[in-house]
């Protein structure tokens, strides 16, 4: 689902992979998968540091694993 500006503003800061910047929302599995893909693109383009990329991927994977386990 595409996030509008108003929808994005309602997402708690804790639901972003980079909360200080409010970037890479990971509030659901779909957005977590997207965050991983976008982080890889931005790392390859030189717009993210390796540390930022690793933080995004780690948080997104935890969201994906947590979501999978919650359904059991």
Stronger pLDDT, 20 or 8, i.e. the higher one: 20
CB contact at 8 A, 54 and 62: no
Which tens digits make up the pLDDT trace of 15-65? 999 999 999 999 999 999 999 999 999 999 999 999 999 999 999 999 999
Q: Would you state the structure tokens that stand for residue 30, as one six-digit string?
A: 């779909």
Task: Give the DSSP H/E element, type plus range, for residue 25.
Answer: strand 23-25
For residue 4, the model assigns a pLDDT of 86
Query: Tokens 């595409």 correspond to what residue?
Result: 2
Confidence at 8, pLDDT banded by 50, 70, 90: confident
Q: Would you state the structure tokens that stand for residue 21, as one six-digit string?
A: 């910047």
């Amino acid at each position: 689902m595409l996030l509008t500006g108003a929808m994005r503003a309602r997402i708690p800061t804790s639901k972003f992979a980079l909360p200080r910047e409010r970037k890479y929302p990971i509030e659901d599995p779909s957005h977590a998968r997207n965050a991983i893909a976008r982080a890889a693109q931005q790392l390859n383009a030189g717009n993210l540091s390796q540390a930022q990329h690793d933080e995004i991927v780690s948080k997104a994977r935890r969201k994906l694993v947590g979501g999978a386990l919650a359904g059991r």
